[in-house]
Homo-oligomer: A and B are copies of this chain.
Amino acid sequence: MGKKFLVLALLLNCWIYQQGIAQSVVEQWGRFEVSFKHQPAKNPFVDDNLSAVFSNGNSKVKVHGFYDGNNTYIVRFMPTKTGTWTYLTSSNIPELNGKKGKFVCKPATDNNHGPVMVRNQYHFAYADSTPYYPFGTTVYSYIHQDNEHVAVALNTLAKSPFNKLRFLIFPQWQDYTKVQTPFFQFEKSKEPLPKKDTILWDYSRFDPAFFRNMEKHIDELAEKGVEADVILFHPYDEGKWGFDKMSHKTDLFYLKYIVARLSSFRNVWWSLCNEFDHFKYKSDADWDDLIATVAKEDPYHHLCSIHNDKRMFNNTNPALTHACVQGGTYVDDFGRAVIQRDAYKKPVVYDEICYEGDIVYRWGNLSAERMVYRYWQGAIAGCYAGHGETFVGKDSVLHLVWGRELRGRSPERIRFLKSIMEETGTLEQIDHFWGMNNMAKSEHGDILIYLGTEAKTEWPFVLSRDLKLPEGTKYTAEIIDTWNMTRTPVPGIFCTTKADAKGIYDNKSRTIGLPGKPYMAILLKPTR
């Protein structure tokens, strides 16, 4: 390289650094990123600040930047509408203050439908109005393994029916999970160690390598159409690293950093904590404060929830967009799942209903039949269930922890339910009355009746009065075998009577014959 060229290159480099490196075109709900080079004077995580206001017509969005290591400061932004966006930075570093720039936001392409939001109070849709039905699974240590293994888990996920993944930010140290992680959230302290095997953290310095690695995996999930339900805190530390014992100040410092990094990722959902009630060192008021912090720092208001074990969080907190509930019992019979929906008046995702598997713990040896049954119980109540798998195998590598392979028989049946829901649209339990709470009406007017474990040979055509159907409403019917994944049309058309004190009937008193097996459902579709 000639000397002149080198000088030119250095000058160009300086100019680029000063202007920031950024894209000129970004998709709607894609990610714009501008980075600036600057050598921090002291601790950039603590002492430096950087933010930017993005403008497009009447829209103005303020976002926080972050320090990414290597003398690099970054601002990320998710444009929520098309057109030209301009930005202006603010910083206590003079060289990064008052930087201007612009980019063009083009319409979204392919499988980019934007972030998922609440739709019709109890359900979900992407920002472009495409319905989203959560059919999630959990792989706790997804990001705490090497990239080769993440690729295996991602491939498993891509072939599964699951469109949401719950995973932990901090590493876990419990049965089946005792594998060291190559990355940590904070830098190790330079203080001398008080005793062997104890790690001390410098809670004022993040390790950006951890976050960059996680972000790569979140983007991979987005490519496969999988929402990333990131669990920001968890209590499964067992004294190993101490991330469950950080001060409230450190918790807030961490949350602000991760929200600055991740809120521009369209597929991110915030899950404040797994089994919050197992946390020894935080009160409900602490959680309220942490939830409020996420809501305040996230300009896009991604979905936000907190997950319980034995004690429910007060899910009426308005910053929680939906209830994320552990509890297999809630979806173990008719008329149960809807109770939480009625109480919280927001969507309920039963994200942990025990796991299909064979481990000794009672939460980890559900049969495939019961898992599928519980999914249907959730669906029929206008709620959603979540999957997890705990077959111990030869190597104790649980899907729940590492996500490598699915061995269970429930995922295919869950896919079958998903296909039915994609056809009917969202479901609402019609009637809360004892004996009539096994039927749902869909947003397209279909009626879905789930018969659960009853092995009936006949379903008498009786619908709930609460449907308020005009006399003479006509339906076609099909028999659904939810276990064998078959759909069998019933010949003829059913036509409703007037309601009496107990129900609505077929005007020719027809019934529907059934094969005397459990796990059957009936789907009625309006016809003329």
> Which A residues are closer than 8 A to B by beta carbons?
310-312, 314-316, 327-330, 332-336, 339-340, 342-345, 354, 360-363, 432-434, 437, 466, 501-502
A327 interface neighbour in B330, B333, B432, Cβ under 8 Å = B432
Nearest Cβ on chain B to A369's Cβ, whole angstroms: 14
7 contacts across the A-B interface (CB closer than 8 A): A314-B345, A329-B432, A332-B335, A343-B343, A343-B344, A361-B501, A363-B433
CA A342 – CA B310 in complex, angstroms? Answer: 9
Measured between beta carbons, the chain B residues less than 8 angstroms from A362 are 433, 501-502
Q: Measured between alpha carbons, how far is A336 from B377 in the docked complex, in Å?
A: 14
Contacts known (A336-B339, A362-B501); A310 close to B345, Cβ less than 8 A:
no
Q: Is the CB of B330 within 8 A of A343?
A: no
Give chain B residues whose Cβ lies under 8 Å from the Cβ of A315. Answer: 343
- Which single residue of chain B is at the shortest CB-CB distance from A503? B362
Task: Please give 20 more A-B residue pairs, beta carbons under 8 A apart, in addition to A329-B334, A332-B335, A362-B501.
Answer: A310-B432, A310-B466, A314-B345, A315-B343, A316-B316, A327-B432, A328-B433, A328-B434, A329-B434, A333-B333, A333-B336, A336-B339, A339-B340, A339-B343, A354-B434, A360-B501, A360-B502, A362-B433, A362-B502, A363-B433
Q: Which residue of B lies closest to A323 (CB)?
A: B343
Would you call B312 and A314 a contact (CB within 8 A)? Answer: no
Cα A432 to Cα B339 in complex, Å, equals: 15
- Complex CA gap A336/B328 in Å reads 12
- Count this chain's copies in the assembly: 2
**Counting chain B CB atoms within 10 Å of each CB, which of A312, A332, A339, A433 scores highest?**
A339
A249 nearest CB across to chain B (Å): 28
Residues of chain B lying within 8 A (CB to CB) of residue A343: 312, 315, 339-340, 343-344
- Min CB–CB distance A3 → chain B (angstroms): 73
CB nearest to A311 among chain B residues = B342
List B contacts of A363 (CB < 8 A).
433
Q: How far is the CB of A174 from chain B (nearest CB, A)?
A: 14
Could you tell me the distance between the alpha carbons of A204 and B292 in the complex, rounded to whole angstroms? Answer: 47
Contact A329 B361 (CB under 8 A): no
- Which residues of chain B come closer than 8 Å to A327, judged between CB atoms? 432
Q: Which residue of B is nearest A345, CB measured?
A: B314
Chain A, interface SS category: loop
Residues of B within 8 Å of A335, CB to CB, are 329, 332, 336
Q: Which residues of chain B have C-beta atoms less than 8 A from A311's C-beta? A: 342
Return chain B residues, CB-CB under 8 Å to A437. Answer: 329
**Which chain B positions have C-beta within 8 A of A339?**
330, 336, 339-340, 343
Residues of B within 8 A of A344 (CB): 343
Complex A-B, nearest 6 residue pairs according to Cβ-Cβ distance, in ascending order: A343-B343, A329-B335, A312-B342, A339-B339, A329-B434, A360-B501
Q: Name the residue on B nearest A331 (C-beta).
A: B434
Residues of B within 8 A of A432 (CB): 310, 327, 329
Q: How far is the CB of A475 from chain B (nearest CB, A)?
A: 22
Chain B residues, CB < 8 A from A466: 310
Docked Cα-Cα span, A334 to B330, in Å, equals 10
A333–B329 alpha-carbon span in the complex (Å): 11
A440 to B361, CA, bound (A): 22
A342–B309 Cα gap in the complex (Å)?
Answer: 12
Q: Nearest residue in B to A344 (C-beta to C-beta)?
A: B343
Note all chain B residues with C-beta closer than 8 A to A336.
333, 335-336, 339
* B434–A332 CB distance below 8 A: yes
How far is A343 from B317 in the complex, measured between Cα atoms in Å?
A: 12
> Given A311-B342, A315-B343, are A329 and B360 neighbors across the interface (CB < 8 Å)?
no
Please give me the residue from chain B that is nearest to A343 by CB atom.
B343
- Which residues of the other chain, B, contact A360 by a CB distance below 8 angstroms? 501-502
Which B residues are CB-close (under 8 A) to A434? 328-329, 332, 354
Chain B residues in 8 Å Cβ range of A330:
339
CB distance from A476 to the nearest CB of B (A): 28
Rounded to whole angstroms, the CA-CA distance of A98 and B166 in the bound complex is 68
Chain B minimum-CB-distance residue to A334: B329
Kindly state the separation between the CA atoms of A465 and B384 in the bound complex, as whole angstroms: 28
Query: A207: shortest Cβ distance to chain B, in Å?
Result: 37
| Docked CA distance A480–B360 (Å) | 33
Neighbouring B residues of A329 by C-beta, 8 Å: 334-335, 432-434, 437
- Nearest Cβ on chain B to A263's Cβ, whole angstroms: 29
Name which residue of chain B comes closest to A336, CB basis.
B336
- A344–B340 CA distance with the chains assembled, in angstroms: 10
Q: State in angstroms the CA–CA spacing of A327 and B343 once bound together.
A: 13
Shortest Cβ distance from residue A95 to the other chain B in the assembled complex, whole angstroms: 50
In the complex, what residues of B have CB within 8 A of residue A332's CB? Answer: 335, 434
